[in-house]
Amino acid sequence: MLAHRLFVTGGWRQDFRQHTVSIADFEVTSIPSQEKVLNVHKQVLTDFGHRGRVTCLQVKQWADGNVMVVTGSAQGAVSRMRFRVPLAPGSALDQIQMVDPDTDTDAGILCRWQHCHTDTIAAVDINAEKQQVLTAGIDGQLHLLPLDWDPGSAASTSQTCYSDQKGYVSYFAAQWSSMDTFVTASTTGGLQVWDTRKRSCRQSDLKWGLTGAPQDIGKGTARQIYSVATHPSQPDKCVSGGSNETVAVWDLRFAAAPVAASTGKQNAGDVWQVQFDADYESGTAPSPPILFCTDDGNLCRVDWAGHGAAALNQMQDNEQQRYNSSSNGHVSDLLTEASTVHGFDVDGTDIVAVVEQECMCYIKRRSQTF
Amino acid sequence: MASEGVAGTTYFPCRPGCQIDFRWGLGRDLLLAETSGPIQTTESTFGGAQWDEPSSAQRQVAYDTMKLHRALHTQAMSEQDKAARLQSITEYSQEVASVLLAACDRPASTDHGQQAVKEDCCAWELLQLFYLFALRYEGSVTQDLVMWMKKHNSLLRGPEGSVREAFAELCGGIEDEQAAAQTLPGYWQVIQRLVLIGWTDDARDLLYVHSETQSTEDRQSMQAENAASHLLAQTDALLRRPPQVQPLSGQHNAAGTFLPFPDYADARDRWKADCLRLLDSPHWWDDCQAMAPDTAQGLRITLSIMSGNRDEINNIAASWLELLMGMLLYGLPAKAGTRHNIGSMITQCLNQRLSPASPSPYGHYLTLMEELLPGAAELDTAKVLAAGSQLSLWFKAHMPDILTAAPQGKSALQTTLEHDGGDLTEKLILAYAHSLMPYPTTWHVAAAYLPWCPCHGAEAMEQLLSQMPLTQGDTRLANQVLHECQLYGLPQVAVGVCRQMGVHHWQAGRTAAAISWFIRGHDDSRASEAAAPLVRQIEDMLANTSAGFQPTPALENLEGLLNSLAPAEAPANMAEPLQSHQQRKADSCLQHRGSLGFLQGFLKLQKAMTCMTEAKDHRQVQSAAASVRDMVMVLVGRKAAPQRMWLHLLFHVIPVIEASHPPVFSHKDTQLLLTRLQEAAVWISKDSHHQHQQHEVMTVRLALARIVAHAHLNAFQPTIAAEA
């Protein structure tokens, strides 16, 4: 079976000394009946130069095939790009249509949309229902940009500014959790939930520590949350990833301490991206399993389901899996590299990961859902 | 800059009247700045020069071999016997060779980088052959050399071009031309060269397109045969089954025709005798000569080569390397290809072709091989190192891994260099690491190699980590650097990184991030300085006594950071007298923390004051008042707050003092506060700007006096007080 997996990456090209955003494709040849991948061929479809380091990137596809890419830069500018993918099965790659986001013409470009932050943008997230883009920066500002925002209207950035903490907060991560609420992580510690209807903010109790993992309490400012991901269908569920391989699953009502948390061994890498794994068998576990990547080169999956002696014996046979005595989740490595795993994305059983060594990894897993 | 070994020189034009100033960057990186005056306060870097920049193919090799190198050296640290060590080096070298081959085949953005990897790959396989395979196994290296030359033919080209080019050109000619193939210029010469270097299958392909062979195919049924076609068929039959010795690298061919060395020697003699027998059949040759003189001549020379005619071999060989191959395959006895004899054979071939007086006319790489091949064959480490030094930095750094397999190599590489301290291996690895340092994609590879430099590695690591470009405030990069600092035990560098990040955020007005980094770097004084604007903000709020107590929202955002400071002493036990040494310790701790200590206390006070206003019943009021009292005792009693704020603080808590019943301030507390009030009053009286605050002093004094009165009442008439 031949399948195409389209993805967007942001990065640095050493040969041209340029920051870029690329749309690329994986052509995956596989035998589904044998669950075997025969060949994966990567092809870069288009490549755009990006002003400044790409610090965050968000892709959203609508049902009509329209795709929007929003990126944030280290200089505080938001850029966007639009293209249309053909929806008919068997369509060729050349049917992908680039669209100019401003004029709606076919001249596809990555254009600078708004320079709303004064420094690095830590996160961008598109709210498809409300047609809004949330941006959070280390300058302590949160912006809500309407998708039809016209940069040419010469309106000031203060119109889109939702909150400005004037440097007394630096945001590390932000994501929409429902149509009207979003969650952020910052130097304040823990998580904050913002409600755009009431313009209110709830803060997690700091007695649970800055990262939500009991092991991190009292470890000082070296322990922070760097990434958050909300559950696609359960608006009250959120997972955070932070220093020292710490991941925690939170109930955003903050009625109790994080549902589950896991932290790595001493001097383990930081978690800069985390996601809920949709591919699992629902059981007695308190939370769905999660996937995260670390700066010391691991792509891991944490399973919160209870595991007994039998599972532990099995693990001793397999070096790829390790059990962390300080955690209450079972951590298994999907990928181990010699250097940083910069990011990943998961779609069902397929995972694509970006590794520092200028390479991409494609992982096809055996499905666990029956 | 323009010295030998520098790939290119970049020119930076400078404006008239300006000077170029330079400083060293990381590794092989030079930063240039234009300065117009004698002293320039803000120096802007407008350019830089880097050399030995790794290309994409070289970077790929660097990434993939990093893990292998680390695994090999980690293994070497555990105790291993000689055989196991040799085995692990062999496995390592084979994995590295496959990485190099993969990088050669990958489409590359620049030809230059790909070429360097190809050169490394060719030299690597040669060292592997002599230092690993030939040392481990008895036998002949002939077949290994044939395969090696076939793989790297484009590099090993002589003055007449490579055999493969000539072959490809001829094949193109055959496809285009209508004339018979054998009439094309160079047809027989290419066949003879192919046979000479052992590419018999390609030679047979060319013989197959000879018009006589084609016509024999057509009229097979007629069984009629002329002399030319007979000789062609016979030659083809001989070329179909040339004796081939089992390669030492252990490779097999599809047909499985490789022979063990003793069998090979016999089979080779028999095969050469067959060639001679065919040459010695005048009947066929005369007929052929009459019919097709060119074919007769071409076949005769080919067969002469196959039968070991050294003159013909010498005539046909285009370079010394081809001569060597011809000699090993046909001209010399089979034992010439063994490890002990090959060195002298190579020297003979070189001497025969190259006169010492005239420099080598060949391409760069074959000239390099003139040193490397004999050096490797004789296991002469000095010669190999000299030749290898012309290759890439990657090759130089990894070459010692193979050379240490031979005892001679080990001793040469591990001799301490004079005036340097380290050995040669370290020097080469260090040079390689330096070449990777200045690039965002490869600095971590450099960091992975430096631990294998026992003498200068720590210093280089410190330099690398302390000079990382953190001016952009990239938190992720800073965390990675701190991670490395922790891994390699460089706490001073870690402190520097935290300070650099803190200052970056501080300059941009990001108080929270700045404080967070300063706390992380144990830099309390800078953290306090960074928090000073917030302290001023609080001071202004407190000074405005008419507006009442207004909470500062920005302070709440710092709660997480302030909590992460050293745990605060328990203020609940304030009623009990502190031991003098405990008191001193607590005071010094608070003072040491400066404004952060104040903010920590003030935040708690602010929370308690908010609770006080929101309290719904008497119990809540009392508990909030108790918290307010605890924090007032820390801030004013223990001087956590600056002296100028004491009066304002006391003034703002008067409503709390008044509201609580029974009073939360004990007699002792009040005495202490009165003392502090007196100190504050003295300070105010000295300054004419603060004269208007005298009435505040009076108000506070009155409130405190009331508490003292209550306390007295409680002490003497506890029952009455309780009833009241």
**Which of A300-304, B6-10, B104-108, B518-522 bottoms out in mean pLDDT, i.e. has the lowest?**
B6-10
Q: In this complex, which of A74, A138, A222 lies closest to B520 when CB atoms are compared?
A: A222
B520/A53 Cβ within 8 A: no
**Which of A273-277, A328-332, B355-359, B684-688 bottoms out in mean pLDDT, i.e. has the lowest?**
B355-359
The pLDDT score that the predictor gives to residue B182 is: 76
Cα–Cα–Cα angle for A152, A154, A156, rounded to 5 degrees: 130
Of the candidates A136, A130, A164, A163, the residue with the CA atom closest to the CA atom of residue A149:
A130
B516/A15 Cβ within 8 A: no
Give percent above pLDDT 90 in chain B: 17
Q: Is A258 on the interface with B (CB under 8 A)?
A: no
The DSSP-derived string for A5-23 is: EEEEEEEEETTTTEEEEEE
The pLDDT score that the predictor gives to residue A137 is: 93
The mean predicted confidence, pLDDT, of chain B is 81
Which stretch, B7-16, B234-243, B286-295, B512-521, has highest mean pLDDT? B512-521
Cα–Cα–Cα angle for B484, B486, B487, rounded to 5 degrees: 60
pLDDT at B134 over 50: yes
The pLDDT score that the predictor gives to residue B12 is: 64
**Which of A230-239, A359-368, B38-47, B306-315 bottoms out in mean pLDDT, i.e. has the lowest?**
B38-47
The dihedrals phi and psi of A334, each to the nearest 5 degrees, come to -95, -25
**Which of A266-270, B4-8, B453-457 bottoms out in mean pLDDT, i.e. has the lowest?**
B4-8
Of the candidates B595, B609, B686, the residue with the CA atom closest to the CA atom of residue B651:
B609
pLDDT at A317 over 50: no
* CB < 8 Å to A172, chain B: 475
Q: Is B55 on the interface with A (CB under 8 A)?
A: yes
Angle of the B393-403 helix axis to the B111-127 helix axis, nearest 10: 10
**Which of A47-51, B13-17, B47-51, B182-186 bottoms out in mean pLDDT, i.e. has the lowest?**
B47-51
How far A222 CA lies from chain B's nearest CA (Å)?
Answer: 6
Of the candidates B117, B193, B107, B187, the residue with the CA atom closest to the CA atom of residue B152:
B117
3-class secondary structure, B573: helix
Element spanning A277, H or E: none
Of the candidates A256, A261, A259, A257, the residue with the CA atom closest to the CA atom of residue A242:
A261
Which stretch, A319-333, B157-171, B307-321, has highest mean pLDDT? B307-321
B251 or B151, which is more confident: B151
State pLDDT tens for residues A82-93: 888 888 888 888
pLDDT at B572 over 50: no
pLDDT at B3 over 60: no
* CB < 8 Å to B73, chain A: none
Q: Is residue A302 very low, low, confident or very high in pLDDT (cuts 50, 70, 90)?
A: confident
A243/B520 Cβ within 8 A: no
The pLDDT score that the predictor gives to residue A106 is: 52
Q: What's the pTM?
A: 0.85
Tally the C-alpha atoms within 13 A of residue B163's C-alpha that lie toward its C-beta: 30
**Cα separations in angstroms, B413 against B408, B423, B665:** 9, 7, 78
Which stretch, A322-336, B138-152, B252-266, B647-661, has highest mean pLDDT? B138-152
- For residue A92, give both structure tokens: 């060729």
Q: In this complex, which of A12, A139, A210 lies closest to B510 when CB atoms are compared?
A: A139
* CB < 8 Å to A14, chain B: 56, 59, 439-441
Q: Which A residues in the span 175-214 are in contact with B, Cβ-Cβ below 8 Å?
A: 186-190, 206, 210
- A204 Cβ neighbours under 8 A, 6+ residues apart: A190, A191, A192, A212, A250, A254
Q: Is B416 on the interface with A (CB under 8 A)?
A: no
3-class secondary structure, B70: helix
State pLDDT tens for residues A81-135: 888 888 888 888 888 888 876 665 555 578 888 888 988 999 999 999 999 999 9
Cβ(A268)–Cβ(A318) below 8 Å: no
How far B604 CA lies from chain A's nearest CA (Å)?
Answer: 14
The pLDDT score that the predictor gives to residue B407 is: 80
Rounded CA separation B231/B240 (Å)? 14
The pLDDT score that the predictor gives to residue A259 is: 77
A138/B516 Cβ within 8 A: no
The pLDDT score that the predictor gives to residue A186 is: 92
B560/A187 Cβ within 8 A: yes
The pLDDT score that the predictor gives to residue A283 is: 67
pLDDT at A275 over 50: yes
Tell me which of A53, A206, A294, A339 to substitute to probe the interface with B (most B C-beta atoms closer than 10 Å). A339
Cβ(B588)–Cβ(B627) below 8 Å: no
Q: Which A residues in the span 8-47 are in contact with B, Cβ-Cβ below 8 Å?
A: 12, 14-15
Q: Is residue B27 very low, low, confident or very high in pLDDT (cuts 50, 70, 90)?
A: confident
The pLDDT score that the predictor gives to residue A308 is: 33
Q: Is residue A185 very low, low, confident or very high in pLDDT (cuts 50, 70, 90)?
A: very high
Q: Which B residues in the span 71-110 are in contact with A, Cβ-Cβ below 8 Å?
A: 109-110
Q: Is B486 on the interface with A (CB under 8 A)?
A: yes
How far A19 CA lies from chain B's nearest CA (Å)?
Answer: 12
Rounded CA separation B130/B379 (Å)? 7
The pLDDT score that the predictor gives to residue B123 is: 94
Angle of the B293-306 helix axis to the B227-240 helix axis, nearest 10: 30
The DSSP-derived string for B255-297 is: T--EE-HHHHHHHHHHHHHHHHHHHT-HHHHHHHHHH-HHHHH
Q: In this complex, which of B110, B472, B510 lies closest to A140 when CB atoms are compared?
A: B510
State pLDDT tens for residues A199-215: 888 998 888 888 888 87
The pLDDT score that the predictor gives to residue B51 is: 66
**Which of A48-62, B317-331, B353-367 bottoms out in mean pLDDT, i.e. has the lowest?**
B353-367
State pLDDT tens for residues B378-390: 888 888 998 888 8
Cβ(A166)–Cβ(A151) below 8 Å: no
pLDDT at B482 over 90: yes
Q: Is B472 on the interface with A (CB under 8 A)?
A: yes
The pLDDT score that the predictor gives to residue A267 is: 80
Distance of CA B597 to the CA centre of its chain: 43
Of the candidates B637, B693, B630, the residue with the CA atom closest to the CA atom of residue B660:
B630
Rounded CA separation B508/B502 (Å)? 10
Rounded CA separation B187/B183 (Å)? 7
3-class secondary structure, B416: strand
The pLDDT score that the predictor gives to residue B47 is: 64
pLDDT at B1 over 60: no
Q: Is residue B4 very low, low, confident or very high in pLDDT (cuts 50, 70, 90)?
A: very low
Segments of B158-269 assigned E as strands: 244-245, 258-259
- Number of Cβ atoms within 10 Å of the Cβ of A215: 18
Q: In this complex, which of B480, B508, B557 lies closest to A169 when CB atoms are compared?
A: B557
Q: Which B residues in the span 375-414 are in contact with A, Cβ-Cβ below 8 Å?
A: none
The whole-number average pLDDT for the span B689-709 is 81
Helices (H) and strands (E) in chain A, counts: 1, 28
Q: Is residue B2 very low, low, confident or very high in pLDDT (cuts 50, 70, 90)?
A: very low
Is the previous residue joined to B662 through a cis bond, with omega within 30 degrees of 0? yes
